[in-house]
Structure 1
Amino acid sequence: MKNIIKSILFILISLFLLPSCGDFLEDVDVKGDNEIAVVGFISPDDSLVQVALYRAIGIGQERNEEEGEDYIQNAVVRISDGQNSYVMNYGKNPYGFEDLGNGYFNYSFEKPQFTYQIENSILNVSEGKTYTLEIETDKGEKLSAKCTVPVGKVTPIVNLTKFNEQEYNYEAQWEDNFNTTNYYRLEAYQPSGGTGQTRTLYFENNYFKSQEGRNTITYKPEDKIYFYDYPYVTTYLMKTDENYYRYHKSVEDAYNNEGNPFGEPIIIHSNIKNGIGCFGAYIIAKVITRN
């Protein structure tokens, strides 16, 4: 089970979102039970919608990510907004490695990715809409999932309090409508190195669920923020649907629990019918804060 968990985790953080919107972790083998993992997240704020299909391989076998041989490349993937249905095209991720010259490089992902894609200008992902994903492989396997895009972006207030000459304490705070149950993910990045490169601020437990009676959510990471040549930090507050939240939270909990003989088994959330993984949605508010 843990091998399957880490397989999904690898796909998740290799593909999506923002500058990375996830930490890169090592690739691992997967228990070979022939299950299909589906990972796809949609947002009005993305220019491209992507869905990855991945088949489990046996322990001890090696993947060839350069050729994408473990991705399912010949399925029919349709996405619908309830009125119109679109077939997603298969191809390499258009984002990737770029040589900027003078020894500087920019890259979006560590490895080439193989996904089913559609331009958001065609699909027009919108807040409040429900989208359906339908998949059929060349072997006749049929999978499906639904998600609803959240409504109402929430913009955080980010405070940087000076700790010493170059260190700052980071605090993000935002108002939550406690009349409804809302789900959030917080990410932050700093410029690093060459043009276009970023450094992720490593937050732990950066997934939030609103609680009844609490209308202010505050997040204070333990680590300090360091400012040298780049005196600002960019914060993204994602308001997500329940599937996105439960999937990411359970994968994170399972990964952190690995190797603990006294830890309770973690069940990975999935909303994929006849498969494993997640089809979820989110909206993003972006804040740039200078020291």
Structure 2
Amino acid sequence: MKNLLPNFSYSNYLSHFMRLLDSFRMTNTLIAVISISCFSCETLVNDVDPDLLPRSDSKLVVHGYLSPQDTVISIAVNLSTQLIGGSLNLSNNTTVSLSDATVTLSNQGKSISLPFDSKSGTYRIKATALPITEGKTYELKVVRNGETAESSCTVPKVVAIQSIRKDSVEARASSSLKDYLYHIVWKDPEGQVNYYRVGGYIFQTQRVQTGPTTFENMPNIQPLNFRENNRSGEFITDERTDGLLLVSIAGRAYTYYSQGPSPFTNQYIELMLLSCEKTYYDYHLAVRNFDGNNPFAEPSLIPSNIKNGLGCFAAYNRSTFVLKN
């Protein structure tokens, strides 16, 4: 199967996609921003006066992810808050970015300072200022009001996608429409523990009515759904499959329109395999498995590798495979 590069231009939306990938990141930042002190269930236990509970000081919360494929280095800095009772809604991220910190990234004696970007709410700089290279280690230091948070990460080796297995299933019962399934196939390097994350996006055009009789084709991006039995299949490790050929669960592309022509036209599909550090894997897997809306769920610790702070600073190396429709 060939890696077919599309002629369709999505340069602006590809940049947006990269920012989305940088977290897989910022959407879930709030989980590490919160130090959980107490859980309560009002129907089972008596309420406790919050003033009687121990308080913890706010800490710097830092998030940053480095990849040789990224064109921008971006670091988010916030302050932690304490959650007592209630529930945590990850989709409602109300944290405020700190703009008065000093953020420094270093590698092999070279250091750069990242300026604050008010539009994104992060400290950003072009990757050409300090190229991110496979196998190298990078140190991060964040200083604010006399507090210093530090971390480091090492860029793992890239693991290439060998092929994509495409299939289809009925979109819904008693329907002639099809949902398409995409399995990512790769060869695991032997002799070491590896951590992976898979993902994919459908790049489309959407026919939008812009006037009484006028229409325009607008770029549109939809993610593939790598879930099975309501559990995420994005995260994979070779703990028991070292050196073997690995196949992801299916990334599903949904078909929604059953009557009339669809306003969407698929241009191409891009599938991704991230070879990531264990810190990246552990943090994002914990965030994905967190259930803040279940009062009976056991409290779970979100891992952090930020010294004197909270959050995650980690690296990954991305390979992609493009399928043109």
Q: State the TM-score bracket (shorter-chain normalisation).
A: 0.7 to 0.9
Q: What displacement does 1:188 show?
A: 0.6
Offset of 1:289 from its aligned partner? 1.9
Q: Is structure 2 residue 237 aligned with structure 1 residue 209?
A: yes
Q: Deviations over 1:217-258 (max 9, x none)?
A: 211237455496216321011111111111101111124x75
Structure 1 position 191 matched with structure 2 position 219: no
Q: Which of structures 1 and 2 has the bigger CA Rg?
A: 2
Q: Is the 1:178–1:212 contact (alpha carbons within 8 Å) kept by the matching residues of 2?
A: no
User: Out of 57, 63, 66, which is 1:39 matched to?
Assistant: 63
The reply to whether residue 82 of structure 1 matches residue 108 of structure 2 is: yes
Per the alignment, do residues 44 and 173 of structure 1 end up closer, same or farther by CA in structure 2, a change over 3 Å counting?
Answer: same
Deviations 1:65-124 (A, max 9, x none): xxx98211111111001220111111135xxxxxxxxxxxxxxxxxxx211112111101
Say whether the 8 Å CA contact 1:178–1:210 is kept in structure 2: no
Q: Which amino acid aligns with 1:45?
A: Q
In structure 1, distance between residues paired with 2:191 and 2:301: 28
Does structure 1 residue 268 correspond to structure 2 residue 296? Answer: no
Q: Secondary structure at the match of 2:18?
A: coil
Identity percentage of aligned residues: 25
Aligned equivalent of 1:20: 20
How far off is 1:269 after superposition? 1.0
Map of 2:249 onto structure 1 = 220
Q: What does residue range 118-267 of structure 1 map to in structure 2 within 5 Å?
A: 118-137=125-144, 139-163=145-169, 166-192=178-204, 193=206, 194-203=217-226, 204-214=232-242, 215-221=244-250, 223=252, 225-226=254-255, 229-230=265-266, 232-255=268-291, 258-259=293-294, 261=296, 263-267=297-301
2:249, 2:95 → 1: CA distance?
42
Checking the alignment, whether the CA contact within 8 Å between 1:154 and 1:239 is kept in structure 2 is no
Q: For the residues of structure 1 that align with 2:253 and 2:73, how far apart are their CA atoms?
A: 34
Q: Secondary structure at the match of 2:289?
A: helix
8 Å Cα contact 1:178/1:211 also seen in 2 = no
Does the CA contact (< 8 Å) of 1:178 and 1:213 recur in 2? Answer: no
Q: Which runs of 5+ in 1 are unaligned?
A: 1-15, 61-67, 94-112
CA deviation profile, 1:189-227 (whole Å, cap 9, x unmatched): 112435432001122230111124441221123745549
Given that 2:199 and 2:251 are in contact with CA atoms closer than 8 Å, whether structure 1 keeps it comes out as no
TM-score scaled by length of structure 1: 0.75
Instruction: Output the CA distance in 2 between the equivalents of 1:56 and 1:198.
Output: 32
For 1:142 and 1:19, locate their aligned partners in 2 and report how far apart those are by CA, in whole Å: 26
SS in 1 for 2:290: helix
Kindly tell me: are residues 25 and 272 of structure 1, through their superposed partners in 2, closer, same or farther at Cα, counting changes over 3 Å? closer
- Normalised TM-score (structure 2): 0.67
Indicate the RMSD between aligned Cα atoms, in angstroms: 3.0
Contact 1:179–1:212 (CA<8 Å) still a contact in 2? no
In the alignment, structure 2 segments of 5+ residues that lack a partner are 1-15, 36-55, 87-93, 171-176, 207-216, 227-231, 256-261
Structure having the larger proportion of residues in strand: 2
| 1:45 positional shift | 0.5
Change in 2 beyond 3 A, CA 1:80/1:182: same
Counting only pairs closer than 5 Å after superposition, residues 273-284 of structure 1 correspond to structure 2 as 273-284=307-318
Task: State which of 76, 79, 96 in structure 2 corresponds to 1:55.
Answer: 79
Q: CA deviation at 1:156?
A: 4.3
| Structure-2 separation of matches of 1:231 and 1:77 | 40
Q: Decide which moves more: 189-198 or 42-51.
A: 189-198
